[in-house]
Amino acid sequence: MFLLFCHHSFRYFSRHKLLSFLNVFGIALGVAIFVSVQAVNHSALQSFRASIDIVSGKANLELVGNGLPFDETIYPKIRSLKGIAAATPLVETVATPVSVPDEYLQIIGLDPFSNGPFRTFTLKQNGHAIDPLSFLENPSALALTESMAARLHVRLGDPLLLQTDSGVRPFKVTFLIAFNEDAVGVNDHIAMMDIANAQENFGMSGHLSRISCQIAPDQDLDWIAQEIRTLVPSDVLVQAPDRRGKQVDKMLGAFELNLTSLSLVSLLVGMFLIYNTVSTAVMRRRSEIGILRALGLQAIQVQLFFICEALVLGILGLVLGILGGLGLAELLIGQVSETITSLYLLLSIREIFVSPLSLLGTAALGLGAVILAAWFPAREAALIPPVQALQVGYLEVSFQQRTPRLLFLALLSALLALCLGWASLAGGSHWLSFGTALFTLLTFALCVPTSIRWITRCLRPRNIISRVALRTFGSSLHRNSITIAALVTAIAMLVGVSVMIFSFRTTVNQWLNETVKADLFITDSANFRAGTRKLVRPEVEHIIRNLSGLETYDTYRELELTLHGSPFKLSAIRFPVAASHNLLRFHHGQGSTIFRRAANQDQVCISEPFARKFGFHEGETLSLSTPAGILPFTVIGVFQDYTSDLGVVMIDSQTYQKHWHDLSYNSFALYLQKGVSSKTVQATLKQSLLLLGSYMVYSNQELRSQVFRIFDQTFRVTYLLQAVALLVSGLGIFLNLIIMIAERRREIGILRSMGTSRFQMISMILQEAALLGGLGSALGLAAGLALTWVLSNVINIAFFGWTIAWATPWLFLCTLPFTVIVTSLASGFWPARTAAHGNISQAVKME
């Protein structure tokens, strides 16, 4: 059997080199996309974990402020607690280097005395390891990573000006940070200094961001944690450090899932390619199958034969795909890293990580996909009676007979999609919503054979060349169905995701128009690069108050809190200002009324994603952890919001300040009097703020541009994934036509012998290519619009909870079929030219 396989299959591959190569390439592309997305996702998490580990890698318990830094007096209590073997305090903040404002430093203030047992790094100076106690010798000493020092163009001993909370301060690059071997993938934005120095310079005197602890070996961790909780305020979270990793998992879960599901579509398109290849091999070698069966080869052996052939191509494709995927991940990583930093958390992914387990999983998934795709055509080959196997067109006829059954399966699939969608929205698992998308795609793919038959019956071209092209198109139902199904899947994804993004963008634009009315905004420039983290100095508010032409201003303070272990954002704004200037859309009631009622009350408004994620409704009580303990707040309204899928709780500034004792802000929104030029005020403000630090003053228009920059950046990776899926299906068309020409060589010869010119021959094959592209794009458009509905109303609701109003990108939808048809024609040109230039004498002799 093995020898037979080697003789027949390898000779078949070597006879059809181009076909085999294109197949391997197609599979490799699908796999590469999947691998790259998995690698990027894994690297994001690994990078975050490694950055946590760097200064407290050996900790098994930690205390972190729930949103705000906490009082440093807690530290001595923890350190002296029985059962705590070691504890170290940390201060974390963000600073902008004055010389390179596009970069940021993630400052970690550490205690050189107590950090020893925890650290997984070494400080180096001229190649020698230095004790962190050396920080104490120079109050302006700063340690940088080597790569960051290179990007900032500084060397050891050079001064570095940093924008701090008390203005520009000079620091000295005294050490380089060398990470231990196991701390791979650490965010290279990390910079270290002495804790006291960090507290003083970054407005955190008397406060800590974190205390990392090591529990004595004989102590019970849960018991100690419980003990600590009795000692600390309720807004200090006591948790195992890996809990933060789990929170990040949750935080990035939906974002990563989006990329993973898109990458799976590429794999699905690759599966169509394998299916088509195996069924083509079966068709081409029907006589071979017949002879082998007649000579005694068993049906199961025939099936194994074809599955093994597909596996040979599949394994080659997998190997190339995995290698290519890792390369592609290197290209994607910058985009993804920026998106995650803008939307979720500070992250700088510098290295690609692939766990052997994840590679094994990908290989298993890829091989599983190959076997699944090859199974059905291989089984078909096995079940052909030996005599019929020798007959031309047996498989085509048997496939044509199955068309009604496929239509029935399409209806069944549509029904399943509806049921799963309903189950997902009715409180079932979110994953069911992906089932809805899958069965929606499958419904349209299963409709392809019926559509081909319908088209060939309905169209009656007068021109004989067109008539032959149409008949040939209809007679190759089996092969064309698979090629078109692959195209339909890729186009559906392109249309579905594009229309969804367009609708989402239009909705966000409308939302911005209605809600963001301020003329000018002020924030620290670091917030542009590293998300809303830096505070604005109190002097800024003083400047704003004295500004001429100002009608009023709003303040914005954002904290990241956790509820039931999941992060969300608490936004404090001035409700009285919002009542008169902000037109947020609420599910029930007017924004102005709600804001007026909730001003200075223990009442909050929650965003749609928050309501969905945590299951809160209007009128219910939400308990939030504050420095004064856990306090109840009444949910007064649910509003549309597109700023964060983590969920937002909006609270009046006065209420926030009352309970959180925090008078700081992250940004300001300024409303100018009518007739006052925002440009003039912007220029004045920029001038006034120059001495206070690196502040950005941007107009309403500039804010929108920034919002859409982040928006477009978020979805940029998806366009690449779609492009690859389209490329694979374009490859499918090319392969299909190549196979068609090989199979119909004799017919082409006959037509040429009857006097069909080369031009007519090319035109005939291009007409078939256009039919493939045309039908594929028509069904793909329909499937894409259905998929948009599923993405917006099922998957989005299940995972994010945004309200997305449908908007149709008419230009894109109208030009897409033409683009697809032109691409099909381009794919078909070379095969058509080959067919037209074939030797007629050889072709008509073929039997």
Partner 1 sequence: MLRLPSDNYKNMISINDVRKSYGPPECRVEVLRGVSLKIQQGEFLALMGPSGCGKSTLLHLLGGFDQMDSGEIFLGENAIHQMNDQQLTRLRRDTIGIIFQFFNLLPTLTAEENIQLPALLQGQSAPAVRARTTQLLAEVGLSQKADKKIHQLSGGEMQRIALARALIGNPTVLLADEPTGNLDSESSRNVISLLRELGREHGTTIIMVTHSTEIAANADRCLAMRDGNLLI
Site for partner 1, rule CB under 8 A: 393, 462, 464, 467-468, 471-472, 474-475, 746-747, 749-758, 760, 839-842, 844-845, 847
169 neighbors 64 (Cβ within 8 angstroms): no
Cα 595–599–601 angle (5° rounding)?
Answer: 125
- Measured between alpha carbons, how far is residue 639 from residues 249, 585, 604 in Å? 26, 6, 11
Task: Give the shortest CB-361-to-partner 1 separation in angstroms.
Answer: 46
Secondary structure string (H, E, C) spanning 548-595: CCEEEEEEEEEEEEEECCEEEEEEEECHHHHHHHCCCCECCCCHHHHH
Q: Is 646 helix (H, G, I), strand (E, B) or coil?
A: coil
Count Cβ atoms below 10 Å from residue 620 Cβ, excluding itself. Answer: 12
Q: Judged by CB, which is closer to partner 1: 539, or 743?
A: 743
**For helices 242-284 and 299-343, angle between their N-to-C axes, nearest 10 degrees:** 140
Task: Give the shortest CB-754-to-partner 1 separation in angstroms.
Answer: 5
Q: How long is the chain?
A: 847
Cα–Cα distance, 824 to 818 (Å, whole number): 10
Q: Hey, which residues does 569 pair with through a beta bridge?
A: 560, 648
Residue 811 CB burial class (10 angstroms; 0-12, 13-18, ≥19): exposed
- Tokens representing 264 are 């799976």
Q: Judged by CB, which is closer to partner 1: 202, or 394?
A: 394
62 neighbors 56 (Cβ within 8 angstroms): yes
- The residue behind tokens 């039908």 is 775
Task: Give the shortest CB-763-to-partner 1 separation in angstroms.
Answer: 12
Q: Judged by CB, which is closer to partner 1: 453, or 746?
A: 746
Q: Judged by CB, which is closer to partner 1: 177, or 751?
A: 751
Residue 267 CB burial class (10 angstroms; 0-12, 13-18, ≥19): buried
Q: Judged by CB, which is closer to partner 1: 461, or 615?
A: 461
Task: Give the shortest CB-13-to-partner 1 separation in angstroms.
Answer: 22
Task: Give the shortest CB-445-to-partner 1 separation in angstroms.
Answer: 25
Q: Judged by CB, which is closer to partner 1: 420, or 751?
A: 751
Q: Judged by CB, which is closer to partner 1: 22, or 771?
A: 771
Task: Give the shortest CB-471-to-partner 1 separation in angstroms.
Answer: 4
Closest CA to 110 of 160, 78, 75, 156: 75
Backbone φ/ψ region at 551: left (φ over 0), alpha (ψ -120 to 50), beta: alpha
Q: Judged by CB, which is closer to partner 1: 477, or 649?
A: 477
* DSSP 8-state code for residue 535: P
Cα–Cα distance, 342 to 527 (Å, whole number): 9
Q: Judged by CB, which is closer to partner 1: 186, or 283?
A: 283
* CA R_g for the chain: 32
Pairing of strands 207-208, 210-215: unpaired
Task: Give the shortest CB-459-to-partner 1 separation in angstroms.
Answer: 14
Task: Give the shortest CB-778-to-partner 1 separation in angstroms.
Answer: 23
Query: What is the secondary structure of 656-712 as a DSSP string?
Result: HHHHH----BSEEEEEEPTT--HHHHHHHHHHHHTTT-SEEEEEHHHHHHHHHHHHH
Task: Give the shortest CB-462-to-partner 1 separation in angstroms.
Answer: 7
Q: Judged by CB, which is closer to partner 1: 471, or 542?
A: 471
Task: Give the shortest CB-491-to-partner 1 separation in angstroms.
Answer: 27
85 neighbors 61 (Cβ within 8 angstroms): no
Q: Hey, which residues does 215 pair with through a beta bridge?
A: 84
Q: Judged by CB, which is closer to partner 1: 453, or 596?
A: 453
Q: Judged by CB, which is closer to partner 1: 295, or 754?
A: 754
519 neighbors 700 (Cβ within 8 angstroms): yes
Cα–Cα distance, 256 to 37 (Å, whole number): 8
Q: Judged by CB, which is closer to partner 1: 270, or 749?
A: 749
